Structure 1
Amino acid sequence: MNDDEKEQQLKKYNFLDAIDVIPSLATYRIMKNHKLILINESKGFKLLSNVLEDTNKLKSSSFLNSELTLTFFLYKKDYLFDNYTELIEENNQLYYFSNRKPVTEANPFSYIPTNISNDLVTEDFLITEESTQQLWFDIQQANINAEINKRLDLIAELDQDDLITDEGKLIIEQSIQKEKGKGLLGIIELKMIGDNTMDVVEIDMSDPNESKSFLLDPFPAFKIHFNNRKTIWKYIKKSDENELETSSVKPLTKNGFIEIDPNTDFSGTLPVDIDKYMFPNPTANMIKQVTDENTNITTTYSEIFI
């Protein structure tokens, strides 16, 4: 598609069709106490802060401490998400998008990309099992502290020392798996002051009588970009007993369209009446994986009956 066509297709895009972004209970309380507002838009979400003008800067009306942390859960809501998204998932690990590296993670660490980055989400954003357990424990402890009524479940009875015990690990793992069963994919966690100048606000402590937190200009923006799953497209015309496969993988799209040129996209001999064939794009409803017995190579197919 040309640029104008792409722009028209992108107008149909709304990330909320595929993903839910839900603040943790502790973050919900923080947002309420600091008068932060969450606004969902078609391509992402924004956090708005009530501000005052201060020497040509915008000062948050409620001081945002440098260690203040905002946590959001990412849940898959489209049942076809795994079909059209190139994503590796591990049972005991979560995707983690943050501007601060956990102490349990080694270098190099993949920080949440900024909006000008072209980085795609890969397994590099999966944190280790140890980090996942520690992260989940910390989030749940913060949530428990924010709850009005005491929680009646096993994880509420754990403390830090329990993370090294088999029983403690099992309780946390069961809690994670329960949420994964609901579609939990990963976690966004932003601290006001991040690593490598990936800050959300500017903290001014120069006046001992007044601590200030300023919104940065331009404001920080981050991007989480999932890649399309790519498959071999197999066109099947049963009436002629013909099958045509693309010579290379093609991306599965929801709002886009990939044009197929039989002369360049297929290998092998073409039917003599190829000009009568139509080549619609496949949907993501079904993908098929076939493993070659000789090479042990697995190929992912999309089948289109024409």
Structure 2
Amino acid sequence: MQVAAYRTLFSIDILHNFHLNNGEERFEDMPDNDREKALRFYRWESLLKINPTTATRRNLERFQFLVKNSSSKFRVLVRVGEDAPQESFIPIEQELTLAFTVEYRDPHFENYTDMPFLVGNKMLFANFQPEEPEGLNFHPIPLDNESEYFSDNWLVSGENFQVLMERYAGLHTGVSPVGLLLIRMQGESGARNVININQSIKITPTVFKIHFNNRRTYWRFLQASSGTEIETNQPKPLTKNGFVELDPEADFDVDAGSISQFRFPNPGIKRINSEGNNYYSEITI
């Protein structure tokens, strides 16, 4: 009995510093063993849902692709010849485009992510410049060796997003995605190609990256019994792991002696307010 052989066609590292940082120590600055430990407890699928569109589901079946995720990677596998590991079992066209909708699994995702709250705008991650809508402000999805955090470079207007959805995803009743992921076999540049020019499978698969940074907020402490309201003089990072220690002398613009009796816990992620360009976390003490 012949067993089908599969290889990685491409993958996407999906990282979030709110879940990976340790207090004020950034994930990228940790020693290798600490990064590995952080990744063991990390699951990107607890944050986001990435689902193939109806057309892409058909293409996954047609070309015998599989979606197999790991804790920090979204992966698409391709069936290859038993004696030809660089040849797709079914030849792949250069123009083949796979489209996936992006939804929030965590309803508080925007609260702890360094991003604007999505009011009308949507996220677009693609390895090529879409032909429509014309004049779209396009920023390619990063590669794994590029140091770029998610920013408004990957945001498009709701109107342009609708055009992209109709072109690549079709209309989905009851589905309201916050983003769209488009991967074409021939990318915008050679480094972002998924397959070789001769349609063979790359020996080293292309690895893209979506890296979300954690939000920094001013921490506002409230004590109703005394009417006390104080806030940090600089934004502080929100983090799931570790603890951010506050210094009464350095982190507040008030007399340190007047607040020496207070303890300053780190805030949760449910109470985030925006005032102008600033974001605030409110903590009752």
Gapped regions of structure 1 (runs ≥ 5): 142-154, 156-174, 205-212, 291-296
Work out whether residues 201 and 215 of structure 1, in 8 Å CA contact, stay in contact via their aligned partners in 2. yes
Work out the CA distance in 2 between the residues paired with 1:271 and 1:288: 28
TM-score, structure 1 as length reference: 0.73
Closer/same/farther in 2, CA of residues 7 and 260 from structure 1, 3 Å limit: farther
Partner of 2:102: 74
**Residue from 220, 225, 234 that aligns with 2:220:** 234
Closer/same/farther in 2, CA of residues 22 and 255 from structure 1, 3 Å limit: farther
Partner of 2:197: 203
Q: Report whether the alignment pairs 1:19 with 2:12.
A: no
Query: SS state of the match for residue 29, structure 1?
Result: helix
Identity of aligned residues (%): 31
Paired residue type of 2:263: M
Work out whether residues 50 and 61 of structure 1, in 8 Å CA contact, stay in contact via their aligned partners in 2. yes
* Aligned positions of 1:1-306 closer than 5 A: 1=22, 3=30, 8-52=37-81, 58-88=86-116, 92-103=120-131, 104-106=133-135, 109-128=138-157, 131-141=160-170, 179-180=175-176, 184-197=177-190, 198-204=192-198, 213-272=199-258, 274=260, 276-290=261-275, 297=276, 299-306=278-285
Gapped regions of structure 2 (runs ≥ 5): 1-21
Q: RMSD of the alignment, in Å? A: 2.7
Larger Cα-atom Rg: 1
Partner of 1:158: none
Report the number of matched residues: 254
TM-score, structure 2 as length reference: 0.78
Closer/same/farther in 2, CA of residues 43 and 257 from structure 1, 3 Å limit: farther
Q: Which one scores higher on RCO, CA 8 angstroms, separation ≥ 6? A: 2
Work out whether residues 48 and 105 of structure 2, in 8 Å CA contact, stay in contact via their aligned partners in 1. yes
Partner of 1:163: none
Closer/same/farther in 2, CA of residues 272 and 140 from structure 1, 3 Å limit: closer
Work out the CA distance in 2 between the residues paired with 1:43 and 1:301: 29
Query: SS state of the match for residue 208, structure 2?
Result: coil
Closer/same/farther in 2, CA of residues 249 and 128 from structure 1, 3 Å limit: same
Paired residue type of 1:72: F
Work out whether residues 10 and 255 of structure 1, in 8 Å CA contact, stay in contact via their aligned partners in 2. no
- Give how far 1:116 is off: 1.6
- Give how far 1:128 is off: 4.4
